[in-house]
A and B are shown apart, each in its own frame.
Chain A
């Protein structure tokens, strides 16, 4: 069965960086992309970007450009999301999701369990 298992909760100080991992299993990793979506406490869902696990191509949300980097390690079927220069408003649950692309668009059919990142001095 398809599973995405994320790394554990993090507490960071403002200005620091965080790197969240997402280990995939149960499918051919390079056949799908991975998107990252975050959710601030009590708020809605915000798309952060996408990475192709096939060739490493990325597409980031403009508001995060320059602060976010998404990578994959195909040898371990793991995706990573690094966010730098953390601010208090980066406090959120961060989700990875398998991006299923087709002629009818892209949807996120499997999700990780979420990783809480808290930014606090």
Chain B
């Protein structure tokens, strides 16, 4: 199975900050990488697919980059509604696997 490792596991930041979350795959996954946002008690929401494509309806302050084994999710200017947990997910091979999550908290 492909292991997905996110860093950091948790992060404190302020409204307006630029934030970057990293996801590393245990082997090359090309660009088969997606990012999700999850708020407490809610289902995950797709933000970025294929490493860098913005899902329809997602604000442009979210962006993704990377290929191979190293990927990043960047939020250019944090908004109050962005405080949530973020997960990466690979679809290069089954089983589909997710990172352990990065909890983004208000400083």
Contact = CB atoms under 8 A, between A and B. Distances in A.
A108 B44 contact: yes
Interface string A98-110: 0010101111110
Contacts of A108: 34, 36, 44, 46, 89
A62 B91 CA distance: 16
Interface in A2-22: none
A110 B36 CA distance: 11
Contacts of A37: 44
Given A105-B32, A107-B46, A108-B44, A44 B96 contact: no
Interface residues of B, number: 28
A107 B50 CA distance: 8
Contacts of B46: 107-109
Given A45-B98, A47-B97, A107-B49, A113 B55 contact: no
A106 B34 CA distance: 9
Contacts of A62: 95
A107 B95 contact: no
19 contacts: A37-B44, A44-B100, A44-B101, A45-B44, A47-B97, A59-B94, A61-B94, A62-B95, A97-B43, A104-B49, A104-B53, A105-B34, A106-B91, A107-B50, A108-B89, A111-B43, A111-B44, A111-B45, A112-B43
Interface in B51-68: 51, 53, 55
